[in-house]
């Protein structure tokens, strides 16, 4: 439950960790997801290289308005870094993603990752990009939000977070 | 994954099976002869419509002449038959179907050609082959079977036609329905001699199918007179399609003696008939995994053969899956009703002690509910009364007769089931299953024993090796010890392979590195909460890692896939139990444990590996099968899920993938797997159904979208009660599964464990790759009888297992079996009014619509049944809806009950629908990642 612009937003988060091998399952998570965190491990280059296929998967199976955050995790292990921050930024820019480097170990930017995602979704709702009455966008309006013209109170972005790093998800 | 080597070997056939088992190449068969359809229609009219044709019995030369006429005119233009779907050929749409419509125009409006198969031939003698067309014709609701040869010379391959073919001539004469005719020496006459002129299906007693893996598939038709017609060879495959088509129009009952034989006019128990028509287990049986042959030597042939059929590509798969679904959809209403009633019955009578047993009470209208509870409270429902109520049920629903009957039968023959559940198998008792030299004397009894009671931890290492086939069937104690030493040596060698990799080599093996990473990661999070694995980087974890890495090297085609660690972990734990040393093991001991665990894991993976295949066909097939089971057994639940786009059943994915490993407590998983390995095929699917059924009230009373449903199922983990679920799964399986009575299945004297193994467990393994194998029952059934005694043994054993489960069911329903727990009483109380109501229904025939509606009631709909008694005019279509509407009403009540009963957590968790006030929602720490909950 987080608060953005005074609106209570409940995030429902799905973690696909442990089942990356089963794309049919992860794909079922995309449906009805309003946002996604695409996570790679900055110390393992191959995880960065897999991003494109995950992104394609998400784009293909999720609704086009889904907010996707690109997360470079394990930022605490900078001495073992295999992917530079610039590369991450570049990739995000190319694909229109929001980029953050995080560390699950030190909690660096973890909150921000979710809050920024929620904020971006909220922005899309406010701008009308999401039809909140259509649940396939992954958003449900809470009962408590029934006040006059109140913005949606409950957002339920499914969060497929293809965890390609080991530490934060297990 | 696919066993390419094996497949190459098996593929050296000119046939390429198309959807539905059709052949693309058409082998040596020829093109369709549209003219024949007309001739056929004419023949039918002549012979069966009566009065339209020549009146008297038509003479063959005449008809033959008409064939020839047509042939000459049309043979050249006939379109190629090879790619033509036979169904298309049958109905409207295809090019040749115009001819059929001509037939219908010209003929009776009531005549319909429902099935046509070209290129079906007869071999009266080894040198002789007569090509022809097999068809099923429906006329005035009577079905006729017909095979007519093509005209002479139509097939160049028949040049070797010999005039002396007498082998089948007498049969042929019989085949001609007793028509007297002079079997001349002229080839045209000779071939007509064999013609099977439309014979009413009522004259057919049985149809046997022979589907050898490599040879041509054929059927043999046995007439009511006992005469068998010469076999009809389906050169391009399609026996299955034929039978499924036939099944749509006539009740086929699989013979108890021979799974390849279907009795056409079995007037026996209609229940049994409809159950047989379900053939659920057959549908669910898939192909064996690669390498199954090493575990099950006697079945290497047929099983391996099943495999290449399996690998026929997406199109074939889809068709097979389609057929699977079709088959369910094609079920007659009767079958559905019976199954539903059965299911209701099973729950009414069978689920003693289940927390959800009160479900029926919950469903009943309040008054009945109260009455039921009152009755239970008064304790007035003694054993006799409960028995009476079950008898009532039997007479009224026509459902429980089977139960009662087999209960009587079972009473003498299977004392195991006179108890609620025998104690787990101890080591001492396990030893009684061996002869002096240590051979397992009666694998079937052993499996039954394991199935019934489970195994004590002390006996598990050996029992599991027997169950999994790590121990060779029939091996003596000495041989087993030698084999174990050999396994240890091989394991050590394989483990050394990857251990010897140096850094530079590793640098070139990115795939291996990736999988190593994954294994390391997964090992660390596998069963962390269990004391055995609790210590990070402890010995157990290292051993598990070694096993998985070695398996990765052993099976590089498949490699490591997530979920495998879940399968390996209990095996390692159990094998560790074989070593008495407490605490840390010496290296030598650890190697021994690892080796045994590795081979046990390998044996398990032989069954399960299809689940992990990257194409996920096996999983898709199982999800579809599960969906079909739900559709069949619980239409309201199905409709509910359908309305919410939940029919992918992906929420059951993890259950199926690793056999509920994550859903139950560790110790329960051990018991569960034993039972599944020793149980009937597809039991794990029924278990999934049972889980859903146990929570159907919650599901029905919620408006969950897919992700809510997924969340609900994920959160069931750790909250399920194994025994009631397992029992219900077995009940379901025994009702829906093969209903062979297996009277003749004598105890298997052969010590071939593999036989029993295949019958009892391999099917579940096969089920893993369900899409793979031809969905046809017989192909998947243990093996064609012709494949040897071992196969026959397997069939027997299979039947035995089935029977045993049926007995189990009956015992559960019999009053002596169950404890008189409160829920039991309550259940019995619920059963009584339902039974009475049903009886009432029979005594006072209600309008047909209402009756149908009543029959449509599913498991939880006993209450609706009562309601319908009050309002017998309810239209049939409204019934499912009514059931759904009624469900939410008592939801709160039930939820409360459930919480009290046994599943407080589940109730609480699931009772929180997604749509709730945000204030409430705020209480659930939603920002936290789901972590483990979301996995698999």
Looking at residue B704, which CATH number applies to its domain?
A: 1.10.472.80
Q: What DSSP state is assigned to residue B530?
A: S
Confidence of residue B1 (pLDDT cuts 50, 70, 90): very low
What residues contact B379, with CB distance under 8 A and at least 6 apart? B825
CB atoms within 10 A of CB B372: 25
- Which domains does chain A carry? 16-138 (3.40.50.300)
Q: Are residues B590 and B643 in the same domain?
A: no
A31 with B525: Cβ contact below 8 A: no
Place of tokens 């290296």: B587
Residue B520 counted as domain residue: yes
Q: What is the pLDDT, as a whole number, of residue B212?
A: 75
Which of B562, B573, B500 lies closest to B534 in space, CA to CA? B573
Last residue of a domain, one of B145, B179, B201: B201
Q: Are residues B647 and B553 in the same domain?
A: no
Q: What is the pLDDT, as a whole number, of residue B494?
A: 95
| Residue bearing the bigger pLDDT, B192 or B392 | B192
> What percentage of chain B carries pLDDT values higher than 90?
20
Q: Are residues B492 and B559 in the same domain?
A: yes
Mean pLDDT of chain A: 77
Confidence of residue B168 (pLDDT cuts 50, 70, 90): very low
Q: Which of B12-16, B155-159, B380-384 has the highest mean predicted lDDT (pLDDT)?
A: B155-159
* Cα–Cα distance list, A43 to A40, A55, B678 (Å): 9, 20, 47
Strand pairing category for B111-122 and B196-200? unpaired
Task: Report the first-to-last Cα separation within chain B, whole angstroms.
Answer: 21
| Residue bearing the bigger pLDDT, A126 or B284 | A126
The count of structural domains within chain B is: 3
Residue B845 counted as domain residue: no
Residues of chain A contacting B, Cβ within 8 Å? 1-2, 8, 10-22, 24-25, 28-29, 31-32, 44, 46, 114, 135, 140, 142-145, 153-154, 156, 158, 161, 166, 169-170
* Cα–Cα distance list, B233 to B120, B223, B425 (Å): 5, 18, 49
Asked whether the predicted pLDDT for residue B804 surpasses 60, the reply is no
Q: What is the pLDDT, as a whole number, of residue B217?
A: 82
Q: Are residues B602 and B652 in the same domain?
A: no
A15 with B931: Cβ contact below 8 A: yes
What residues contact B120, with CB distance under 8 A and at least 6 apart? B131, B132, B133, B134, B147, B232, B233, B234, B235
Q: Are residues B36 and B125 in the same domain?
A: yes
pLDDT, one tens digit per residue, over B271-300 is 333 333 333 333 333 333 333 333 333 323
Q: What is the pLDDT, as a whole number, of residue B555?
A: 93
Residue B418 counted as domain residue: no
Residue B602 counted as domain residue: yes
* Cα–Cα distance list, B861 to B63, B341, B366, B629, B697 (Å): 57, 9, 14, 17, 11
pLDDT, one tens digit per residue, over A5-20 is 888 888 878 776 556 6
pLDDT, one tens digit per residue, over B77-114 is 434 443 333 333 333 333 333 333 333 333 445 677 88
Phi, then psi, of B206 in degrees rounded to 5 = -150, 155
Asked whether the predicted pLDDT for residue B799 surpasses 60, the reply is no
Cα torsion angle, B693, B699, B700, B705, sign: negative
CA dist B122 and B191 (Å) reads 10
**Residues of the domain holding B145:** 26-201
Q: Are residues B631 and B608 in the same domain?
A: no
3-class secondary structure, B929: coil
Residue B75 counted as domain residue: yes
Instruction: Please give the sequence-ordered ranges of beta strands (E in DSSP) within B503-607, or none if there are none.
Output: none
Name the burial class of residue B423, with classes exposed (0-12), middle (13-18) and buried (19+) by CB atoms within 10 angstroms of its CB: exposed
CA dist B653 and B684 (Å) reads 12
Contacts of A10 in chain B (CB under 8 A): 918, 921-922, 926
CA nearest to B650 within chain A = A25
Asked whether the predicted pLDDT for residue A83 surpasses 50, the reply is yes
* Residue A96 Cα, gap to closest chain B Cα (Å): 25
Cα torsion angle, B528, B532, B537, B540, sign: negative
Q: Are residues B30 and B150 in the same domain?
A: yes
CA dist B19 and B416 (Å) reads 45
pTM: 0.49
Mean pLDDT of chain B: 60
pLDDT, one tens digit per residue, over B461-505 is 999 999 999 998 889 999 999 999 999 999 999 999 999 998 898
**Do B121 and B130 contact (CB within 8 A), yes or no?**
yes
Last residue of a domain, one of B612, B630, B646: B612
CB atoms within 10 A of CB B405: 15
Please state the rounded mean pLDDT for residues B806-824.
Answer: 38
Token pair listed for A14? 């799905």
Asked whether the predicted pLDDT for residue B527 surpasses 50, the reply is yes
Q: What is the pLDDT, as a whole number, of residue A19?
A: 61
Residue B428 counted as domain residue: no
Asked whether the predicted pLDDT for residue B266 surpasses 70, the reply is no
| Residue bearing the bigger pLDDT, B560 or B739 | B560
Q: Which of B199-208, B337-346, B559-568 has the highest mean predicted lDDT (pLDDT)?
A: B559-568
Instruction: Using alpha carbons only, give the angle B245, B246, B251 rounded to the nearest 5 degrees.
Output: 130
Q: Are residues B58 and B170 in the same domain?
A: yes
Last residue of a domain, one of B555, B579, B612: B612
CA dist B375 and B367 (Å) reads 12
Q: What is the pLDDT, as a whole number, of residue A18?
A: 55
| Residue bearing the bigger pLDDT, B567 or A5 | B567
Asked whether the predicted pLDDT for residue B643 surpasses 50, the reply is yes
> What percentage of chain A carries pLDDT values higher than 70?
71
Place of tokens 């690669």: B290
CA dist B126 and B110 (Å) reads 40
Asked whether the predicted pLDDT for residue B754 surpasses 50, the reply is no
CA dist B613 and B619 (Å) reads 9
Please state the rounded mean pLDDT for residues B860-883.
Answer: 39
- Best of A4, A7, A19 to mutate (most B CBs within 10 Å, chain B): A19
Q: Are residues B143 and B49 in the same domain?
A: yes
Q: Are residues B608 and B623 in the same domain?
A: no
Token pair listed for A136? 């396939």
What are B132's strand-pairing partners?
Answer: B120, B149
Contacts of A13 in chain B (CB under 8 A): 926-930, 934
* Residue A2 Cα, gap to closest chain B Cα (Å): 7
What is the gyration radius of the CA atoms in chain B, in angstroms? 30
Cα torsion angle, B473, B476, B478, B481, sign: positive
Q: What is the pLDDT, as a whole number, of residue B314?
A: 40
Residue B422 counted as domain residue: no
What residues contact B855, with CB distance under 8 A and at least 6 apart? B333, B337, B340, B341
Confidence of residue B243 (pLDDT cuts 50, 70, 90): confident
Which of A7-16, B326-335, B702-711 is predicted least confidently? Answer: B326-335
Q: What is the pLDDT, as a whole number, of residue B597?
A: 96
3-class secondary structure, A163: strand
Q: Which of A25, A142, A170 sits opposite B521 (nearest CB)?
A: A170
Place of tokens 């990009």: A129
What are B196's strand-pairing partners?
Answer: B147
Q: Are residues B159 and B138 in the same domain?
A: yes
Confidence of residue A124 (pLDDT cuts 50, 70, 90): confident
* Residue B3 Cα, gap to closest chain A Cα (Å): 20
* Cα–Cα distance list, B16 to B239, B276, B346, B834 (Å): 15, 30, 44, 53
What residues contact B55, with CB distance under 8 A and at least 6 apart? none
* Residue A131 Cα, gap to closest chain B Cα (Å): 17
What are B200's strand-pairing partners?
Answer: B144
Please state the rounded mean pLDDT for residues B401-416.
Answer: 32
Residue B487 counted as domain residue: yes
pLDDT, one tens digit per residue, over B585-619 is 999 999 999 999 999 999 999 999 898 888 878 88
């Amino acid at each position: 439950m987080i608060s953005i612009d005074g609106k209570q937003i409940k995030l429902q988060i799905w973690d696909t960790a442990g089942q990356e091998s089963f794309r049919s399952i992860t794909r079922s998570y995309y449906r009805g997801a309003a946002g996604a965190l695409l996570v790679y491990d900055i110390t393992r280059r191959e995880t960065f290289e897999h991003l494109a296929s995950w992104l394609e998967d998400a784009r293909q199976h999720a609704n086009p308005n889904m907010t996707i955050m690109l997360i470079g995790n394990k930022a605490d292990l900078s001495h073992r870094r295999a992917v530079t921050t610039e590369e991450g930024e570049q990739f995000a820019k190319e694909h229109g993603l929001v980029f953050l480097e995080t560390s699950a170990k030190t909690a660096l930017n973890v909150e921000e990752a979710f809050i920024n995602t929620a904020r971006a979704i909220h922005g899309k709702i406010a701008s009308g990009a999401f039809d909140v009455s259509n649940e396939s966008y992954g958003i449900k309006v809470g009962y408590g939000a029934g006040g006059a013209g109140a913005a949606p109170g409950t957002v339920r972005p499914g969060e497929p977070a293809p965890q390609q790093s080991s530490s934060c998800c297990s | 994954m696919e066993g390419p080597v094996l497949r190459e070997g098996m593929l050296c056939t000119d046939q390429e099976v198309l959807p539905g088992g059709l052949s693309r190449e058409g082998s040596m068969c020829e093109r369709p002869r549209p003219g024949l359809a007309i001739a056929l229609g004419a023949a039918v009219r002549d012979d069966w419509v009566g009065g339209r044709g020549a009146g008297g019995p038509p003479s063959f030369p005449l008809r033959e002449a008409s064939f020839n006429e047509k042939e000459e005119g049309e043979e050249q233009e006939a379109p190629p038959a090879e790619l033509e779907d036979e169904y298309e050929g049958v109905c409207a749409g295809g090019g040749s179907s115009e001819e059929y419509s001509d037939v219908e125009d010209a003929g009776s409006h009531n005549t319909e050609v429902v099935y046509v198969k070209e290129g079906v031939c007869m071999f009266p003698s080894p040198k002789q082959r007569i090509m022809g067309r097999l068809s099923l014709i429906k006329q005035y609701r009577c079905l006729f079977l017909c095979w007519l040869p093509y005209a002479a010379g139509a097939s160049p391959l028949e040049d070797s036609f010999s005039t002396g073919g007498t082998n089948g001539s007498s049969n042929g004469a019989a085949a001609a329905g007793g028509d007297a005719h002079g079997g001349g020496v002229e080839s045209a006459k000779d071939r007509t001699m064999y013609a099977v002129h439309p014979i009413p299906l009522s004259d057919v007693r049985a149809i046997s199918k022979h589907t050898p893996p490599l040879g041509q598939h054929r059927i043999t038709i046995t007439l009511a007179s006992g005469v068998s017609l010469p076999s009809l060879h389906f050169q391009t495959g399609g026996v299955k399609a034929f039978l499924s088509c036939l099944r749509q129009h006539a009740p086929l009952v699989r013979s108890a003696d021979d799974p390849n034989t279907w009795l056409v006019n079995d007037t026996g128990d209609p229940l049994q008939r409809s159950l047989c028509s379900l053939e659920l287990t057959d549908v669910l049986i898939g192909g064996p995994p690669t390498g199954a042959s090493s575990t099950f030597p006697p079945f290497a042939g047929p099983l391996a053969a099943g495999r290449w059929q399996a690998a026929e590509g997406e199109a074939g798969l889809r068709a097979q899956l389609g057929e699977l679904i079709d088959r369910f959809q094609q079920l007659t209403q009767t079958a559905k009703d019976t199954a539903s009633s059965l299911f209701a019955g099973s729950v009414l009578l069978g689920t003693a002690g289940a927390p959800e047993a009160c479900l029926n009470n919950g469903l009943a209208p309040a008054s009945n509910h109260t009455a039921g509870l009152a009755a239970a409270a008064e304790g007035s429902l003694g054993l006799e009364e409960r028995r009476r109520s079950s008898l009532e049920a039997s007479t009224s629903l026509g459902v429980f007769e089977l139960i009662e009957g087999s209960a009587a039968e079972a009473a003498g023959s299977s004392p195991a089931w006179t108890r609620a559940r025998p104690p787990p198998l101890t080591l001492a008792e396990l030893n009684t299953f061996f002869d002096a030299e240590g051979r397992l004397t009666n694998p079937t009894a052993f499996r039954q024993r394991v199935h019934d009671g489970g195994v004590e931890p002390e006996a598990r290492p050996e029992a599991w090796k027997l169950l999994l086939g790590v121990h060779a069937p029939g091996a003596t104690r000495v041989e087993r010890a030698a084999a174990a030493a050999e396994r240890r040596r091989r394991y050590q060698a394989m483990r050394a392979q990857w251990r010897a990799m140096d850094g530079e080599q590793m640098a070139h093996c990115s795939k291996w590195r990736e999988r190593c990473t994954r294994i390391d990661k997964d090992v660390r999070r596998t069963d962390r909460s269990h004391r055995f694995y609790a210590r990070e980087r402890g010995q157990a974890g290292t051993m598990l890692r070694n096993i998985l890495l070695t398996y990765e090297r052993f099976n590089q085609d498949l490699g490591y896939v997530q979920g495998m660690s879940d399968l390996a972990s209990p095996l390692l734990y159990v094998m560790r139990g074989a070593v008495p040393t407490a605490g840390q093991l010496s290296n030598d001991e650890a190697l021994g444990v690892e080796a045994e665990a590795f081979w046990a894991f390998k044996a398990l993976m032989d069954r399960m590996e299809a689940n992990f295949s990257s194409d996920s066909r096996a999983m898709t097939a199982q999800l579809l099968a599960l969906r079909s089971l739900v559709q069949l057994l619980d239409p309201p639940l199905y409709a509910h899920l359908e309305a919410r786009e939940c029919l992918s059943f992906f929420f059951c994915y993890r259950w199926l993938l690793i056999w509920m490993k994550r859903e139950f407590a560790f110790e329960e998983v051990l018991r569960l797997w034993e039972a599944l390995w020793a149980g009937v095929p597809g039991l794990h699917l029924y278990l999934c159904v049972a889980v859903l059924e146990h929570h159907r009230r919650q599901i029905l009373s919620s408006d969950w979208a897919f992700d809510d449903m997924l969340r609900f199922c994920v959160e069931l983990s750790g909250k399920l009660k194994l025994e009631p679920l397992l029992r219900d799964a077995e009940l379901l399986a025994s009702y829906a599964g093969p209903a062979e009575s297996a009277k003749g299945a004598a105890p298997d004297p052969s010590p071939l464990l593999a036989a029993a193994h295949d019958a009892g467990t391999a099917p579940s393994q096969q089920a893993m790759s369900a899409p793979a194998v031809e969905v046809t029952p017989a192909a998947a059934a243990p093996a064609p009888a012709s494949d040897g005694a071992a196969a026959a043994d397997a069939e027997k054993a299979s039947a035995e297992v089935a029977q045993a489960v049926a007995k189990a069911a009956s015992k559960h329903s019999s009053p002596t079996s169950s404890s008189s727990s409160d829920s039991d009483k309550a259940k019995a109380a619920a059963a009584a009014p339902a039974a009475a109501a049903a009886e009432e229904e029979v005594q006072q025939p209600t309008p047909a619509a209402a009756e149908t509606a009543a029959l449509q009631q599913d498991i939880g709909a006993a209450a609706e049944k009562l309601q319908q008694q009050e309002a017998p005019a309810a239209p049939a279509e409204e019934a499912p809806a009514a059931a759904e509407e009624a469900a939410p009403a008592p939801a709160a009540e039930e939820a409360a009950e459930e919480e009290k009963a046994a599943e407080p957590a589940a109730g609480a968790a699931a009772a929180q629908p997604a749509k709730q006030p945000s204030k409430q929602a705020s209480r659930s720490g939603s920002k936290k990642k789901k972590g483990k909950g979301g996995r698999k």
